[in-house]
Amino acid sequence: MTAGENAELELAIEEPEAPAPNGNFDSLFDDGVEDGDDTPPSAPTNDLYVYRAGEPKKVIDDGDGGVNILVLKEIYDSELSVKKRADGFHVVYYEGEPIVEMRGIGYLQTENGCAPIENWML
CA distances from 85 to 46, 48, 105, 121 (A): 23, 22, 14, 11
Better-scored residue on pLDDT, 32 or 64: 64
What φ, ψ does residue 116 adopt, rounded to 5°? -60, 150
Which tens digits make up the pLDDT trace of 36-94? 555 566 677 888 999 999 999 999 988 777 788 999 999 999 999 999 999 989 999 99
pLDDT at 24 over 50: no
Report the C-alpha gap between 62 and 34 in whole angstroms: 25
